[in-house]
């Protein structure tokens, strides 16, 4: 993973000339004057751990698994939001951990957490490092030091139960590896977020991730049937039946807990059979409202495709729904519908009847296949846009169908009002019977302080979401960035309940301080 950007540097994407021209003419984007920092020149705080403390961690996990080099610290600094990348490009390593500790077993995680509590050292669980909400930037205040708990050594598929259709994994398995291991058994998770290439199963559970095929396979939290968790106060082992009436479901306390309540060390996940067939296609609707009504009809009355998304007019025009064809200039609003599994042609025909009946025009498989082909390329494009002097960032929310148009307008207006004349694009990314999520992408010319510029826009958008009745996050999570809005969403009693749980499982407060808990 590129330390100051996204992904495999070999897959870096050149900006097409037409996009450069568009950025310049439409948004006034100018190349930044200062070059991006080199890894060696990132400014890091001195290591705050005493040599004896480093040795104590080494005694627990082995000296090879405690890293204090500059490079290891830089590579575990923050996550992959645009402000995170802008700070790294500016050489700002102030949030770097003092050490990276790599435990290899559940018991080692427990021991490391106990040591952290005894030494007042904050511990930040680290999966793929793809958080976009500040979930990896723990607060140092009141702590002697901060260690990053890199879970990449916990990388095994432990069991496949084909009778119950449950696979048991360790948390550090990355999504492509999970799919590779399951494919050997003819199985799949069906979880394909845009961060697929790098994010881990533990991170998906900890941040309640949702993949692009959620209409068919469900969100990640729907897939979790059981969890093992290491906390400073001991272990939790949750989930022993498909459904239970035995009190509140404590798995739900762990899902979305973003490392603040414990470290997920084992996950039991519902799996599906590998689809016999896959087909993706495009549809055009004259406007966003009409397209949204069609998605709602499919979500409520079926048949529900496996992938279902709708780009608004701007996103369709810019072509961001298909990053390989950026600048393509389709008009109207593009729907991508994908079908995976069995009876693809029957499901496709039945959905086509609904879409046609509601004003959709079929575009055939080409736009759908192009979307599928380019589905992981947008983050690479972001790096090129940042280097060209544009700020590009995404944010998301969800609401009930009845309030969705108002939420859409409120967020768009907030972005336009706070950034001058940015490009604001949106798509409906996940659908449910009762509502949907809205995923916004914003592109604007970088100001002298692009981080402050984005903070301003993000604050306005968050306020619009809270006022507009949406949730502050449908799938990115809370982290540090959404903590205040989350507090507003759950109210003072909700926040007090979370703090009470935190006191019980983490009395010294060492787990990811500053993240999630208001």
Ligand X SMILES: Cc1cc2nc3c(=O)[nH]c(=O)nc-3n(C[C@H](O)[C@H](O)[C@H](O)COP(=O)(O)OP(=O)(O)OC[C@H]3O[C@@H](n4cnc5c(N)ncnc54)[C@H](O)[C@@H]3O)c2cc1C
Q: Which is nearer to ligand X, 260 or 355 (CB)?
A: 260
SS3 label, residue 511: strand
Contact by Cβ (8 Å): 401, 435: yes
Q: Which of 441, 277, 281, 307 is nearest to 370 (CA)?
A: 281
Residues that bind ligand X (CB under 6 A): 6, 79-80, 124-132, 135-136, 151, 171, 193-195, 199-200, 202-204, 206-207, 209-210, 258-259, 263-264, 379, 475-477, 512, 515
CB burial of 70-104 (b: ≥16 within 10 Å; e: otherwise) equals eebbbbbbbbbbbbbbbbbbbbbbebbbbbbbbbb
Contact criterion met (CB below 8 Å) for 183 and 136: no
- Minimum separation from the CB atom of position 208 to ligand X (A): 7
Q: Please, which residue, 88 or 355, has the CB nearer to ligand X?
A: 88
Q: Please, what is the minimum distance in Å from the beta carbon of residue 84 to ligand X?
A: 9
CB of 9 to ligand X, least distance (A): 15
The residue (of 100 and 132) whose beta carbon lies closer to ligand X is 132
CA atoms of 367 and 335, how far apart (whole Å): 9
Q: In the bound complex, what is the minimum distance in angstroms from residue 192's beta carbon to ligand X?
A: 8
Rounded distance between C-alpha atoms, residue 308 and residue 354, angstroms: 13
> Which residues, at least 6 apart from 142, have a Cβ–Cβ distance to it below 8 Å?
120, 509, 513
For residues 178 and 271, which CB has a smaller minimum distance to ligand X in the complex? 178
Token pair belonging to 346: 């029957």
187 bridge partner residues:
273
CB of 337 to ligand X, least distance (A): 18
Looking at the DSSP assignment, which residues form a beta bridge with residue 396?
439
- Shortest gap between Cβ of 233 and ligand X (angstroms)? 15
Q: Are residues 193 and 131 in contact, defined by beta-carbon separation less than 8 angstroms?
A: no
Nearer to ligand X, 410 or 515 (CB): 515
φ and ψ of 235, to 5 deg = -105, 150
DSSP single-letter state for residue 16: P
CB of residue 316 vs ligand X: minimum separation in angstroms?
19
Distances (CA, A) of 66 to 35, 129, 203: 32, 18, 21
Cis omega (within 30 of 0) on the bond before 208?
A: no
Q: What string of DSSP letters covers 235-296? A: EEEE--SSS--SSS-THHHHTT-TTSS-EEEEEEEE-EEPPSEEEEEEEEESSHHHHHHHHH
For ligand X, which is the closer residue by CB, 128 or 368? 128
Q: Write down the least CB distance from residue 272 to ligand X, Å.
A: 18
Q: Kind of pairing, strands 145-150 and 121-126? A: parallel
Shortest Å distance, C-beta 39 to ligand X = 19
Considering the complex, state which of residue 136 and residue 466 has its C-beta at the smaller distance from ligand X: 136
DSSP string, 362-379: EEEHHHHHHHHHHTTTHH
User: Please, is 172 exposed, middle or buried when counting C-beta atoms within 10 Å of its C-beta (0-12, 13-18, 19+)?
Assistant: buried
Toward ligand X, which CB reaches closer, 193 or 305? 193
* Residue 342 CB neighbour total at 10 angstroms: 11
CA 314 to chain CA centroid, Å, is: 23
Closest approach of ligand X to the CB of residue 429, in Å:
8
- Which residue is at the shortest CB distance from ligand X? 203
Please, which residue, 79 or 367, has the CB nearer to ligand X? 79
CB of 48 to ligand X, least distance (A): 19
**Which C-beta is closer to ligand X: that of 230 or that of 334?**
230
Closest to ligand X by CB, 93 or 128? 128
């Amino acid at each position: 993973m590129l330390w100051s950007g996204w992904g495999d540097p070999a897959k870096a994407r050149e900006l097409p000339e037409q996009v450069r021209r568009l950025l310049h003419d439409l948004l006034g984007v100018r190349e930044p004057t200062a070059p991006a920092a080199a890894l060696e020149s990132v400014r890091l705080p001195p290591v705050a751990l005493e040599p004896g403390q480093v040795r104590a961690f080494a005694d627990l996990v082995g000296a090879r698994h405690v890293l204090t080099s500059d490079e290891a610290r830089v590579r575990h600094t923050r996550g992959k939001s645009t402000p995170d990348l802008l700070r790294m490009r500016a050489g700002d390593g102030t949030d770097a951990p003092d050490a990276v500790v790599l435990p290899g077993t559940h018991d080692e995680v427990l021991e490391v957490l106990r040591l952290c509590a005894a030494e007042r050292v904050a511990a930040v669980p680290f999966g793929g490092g793809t958080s976009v909400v500040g979930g990896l930037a723990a607060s140092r205040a009141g702590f002697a030091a901060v260690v990053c708990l890199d879970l990449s050594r916990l990388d095994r598929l432990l069991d496949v139960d084909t009778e119950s259709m449950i696979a048991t994994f360790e948390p550090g398995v990355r999504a492509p590896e999970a799919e590779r291991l399951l494919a050997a058994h003819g199985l799949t998770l069906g979880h394909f977020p845009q961060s697929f290439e790098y994010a881990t199963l533990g991170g998906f559970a900890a941040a309640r991730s949702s993949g692009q095929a959620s209409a068919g396979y469900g969100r990640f939290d729907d897939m979790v049937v059981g969890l093992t968790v290491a906390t400073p106060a001991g272990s939790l082992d949750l989930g022993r039946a498909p459904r239970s009436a035995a009190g509140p479901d404590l798995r739900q306390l762990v899902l979305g807990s973003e490392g603040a309540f414990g470290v997920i060390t084992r996950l039991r996940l519902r799996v599906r059979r590998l689809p016999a067939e896959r087909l993706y296609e495009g549809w055009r609707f004259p406007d966003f409202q009409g397209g949204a009504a069609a998605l709602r009809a499919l979500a409520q009355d079926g048949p529900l495709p496996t992938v279902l998304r709708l780009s608004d007019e701007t996103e369709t025009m810019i072509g961001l729904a298909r990053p390989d064809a950026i600048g393509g200039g389709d008009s109207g609003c593009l729907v991508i519908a994908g079908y995976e599994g069995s009876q693809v042609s029957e499901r496709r025909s039945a959905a086509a009847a609904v879409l046609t009946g509601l004003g959709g025009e079929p575009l055939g498989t080409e736009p759908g296949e192009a979307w599928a082909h380019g589905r992981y390329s947008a983050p690479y494009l972001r790096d090129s846009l940042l280097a060209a002097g544009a700020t590009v960032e995404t944010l998301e929310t969800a609401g009930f169908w009845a309030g969705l148009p108002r939420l859409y307008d409120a967020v768009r207006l907030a972005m336009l009002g706070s950034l001058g004349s940015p490009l604001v694009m949106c798509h409906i990314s996940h659908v449910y019977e009762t509502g949907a999520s809205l995923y916004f992408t914003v592109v604007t010319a970088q100001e002298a302080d692009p981080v402050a510029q984005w903070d301003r826009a993000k604050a306005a958008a968050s306020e619009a979401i809270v006022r507009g009745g949406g949730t502050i996050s449908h799938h990115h999570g809370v982290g540090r960035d959404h903590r205040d809005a989350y507090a507003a969403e759950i109210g003072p009693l909700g926040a007090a309940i979370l703090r009470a749980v935190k006191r019980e499982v983490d009395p010294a407060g060492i787990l990811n301080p500053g993240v999630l808990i208001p």
